[in-house]
Amino acid sequence: MSKKDRKRVLAQIWGTPTSHDIDMVDEGDQIVVFSNYRGIINWWMEIFKTYYPNIKCREKGDVIKIKPTVGVTIKLNKTTKLMRVSGKDHWPWFVDTFEALLEVGNGDAIELPSDGGSVSENSVTRYLQLNKEDEEVQDLLDRIPDGGGIMHHEFIMRLWKTLLDDWFGVGANVFVVTPRIDSERLFTIMLLMIRNKGTGFKVTLMTPFKQDGDRFDKIMDKTKRRMKEVKTAQDSRLVSDVKLQWVINTLEIKHEDFSTNFVAAYKDEEAEVLTTTAHFHKAHFHHQQKDNVCYNRLSPHDLRKNYLLPLDIGSNVL
């Protein structure tokens, strides 16, 4: 299996819901799994004992050694909090078993306390400057006049970001439609996806293939570079290769030519749509720009009929 295919498989495994954030790196001869949560080693041990009731462990210093099956060795370091999975059969075992182990871990509904933030999720949250306690979605929606109105660029960006976060968080089917998008806004969408992984959301980005003379591919390439370059306060990468690959696997991108802007979502029998004259682009968010904003609740059927089907998207909406 090629490195690219292995990364794609790891991304799928990482997408398994967990009660807190973990990350993983494929080093070829071993897979390293890590987290910044206190008690993570005890959490792993409980999972292994549940999944392998007769498992035997050897402890030497800070390292706990486990052999779950022939050809696989797992070392848990209580100091570094790293899990190293190695051995001649470590890859097939990891692919066949690790998702099931993570699902066993979901039986523990209590999130473990952290040591000043996790490797990715908390850092992503800080980078996005999202605080649900200070700014609920409804508080922002209540500021939009009945029938819509003209709003400031900072408010539109805050509402756009908070709405997407809320929709991703409840596992909705989300649509981002804009004739112009820059790498910073695309980066924000990707971070919001990472922050809310495991909720079962689906997301479609609809944007023209060419924008301002540039192909969308260039915008995507710039966004990928940004994701690799942005660092946390601990000088580690904000987004690992596995998480980047998961985003690429998950984000559905469609290209059409149009000149409308909206974000919308549906879940069960409810749908919402925010329409605006603001492109999701720095030209509308980095200047003293003012644009029209209108928010509506409607049925998934009307969302499909009035907003999605005219753009040839949303054929799976009832």
List beta partners, residue 176: 205, 263
- Name the fold adopted by 124-311: Endonuclease; Chain A (3.30.870)
Report whether 103 contacts 92 (CB < 8 A).
no
Element spanning 174, H or E: strand 173-177
Using 50 as the pLDDT threshold, list the residues of the chain that sit under it: 109-122, 134
What is the model's pLDDT at position 114? Answer: 40
d(Cα 285, Cα 43) in Å, to the nearest integer? 43
**Closest by alpha carbon to 159, among 78, 261, 253?**
261
Q: What's residue 109's pLDDT?
A: 35
Q: How confident is the model at residue 118, as a pLDDT?
A: 38
- Rg over CA atoms, the chain: 22
Q: What is the domain class of 3-115 according to CATH? A: alpha beta
Q: Do the strands 252-254 and 202-206 form a parallel or antiparallel pair, or are they unpaired? A: parallel
Question: Looking at residue 254, what is its pLDDT?
Answer: 95
**Which residues does 244 contact at the CB level (< 8 Å), separation at least 6?**
190, 224, 227, 228
pLDDT tens digits, one per residue of 171-206: 999 999 999 999 999 999 999 999 888 888 999 999
Predicted pLDDT of residue 234: 72
Q: What pLDDT is stored for residue 255 in this prediction?
A: 95
Which pLDDT belongs to residue 286? 77
Per-residue pLDDT at 129: 62
The structure's pTM equals 0.86
Domain ranges in the chain are 3-115, 124-311
Strand arrangement, sheet containing 63-69: 23-26, 30-34, 83-86, 72-77, 63-69, 57-60
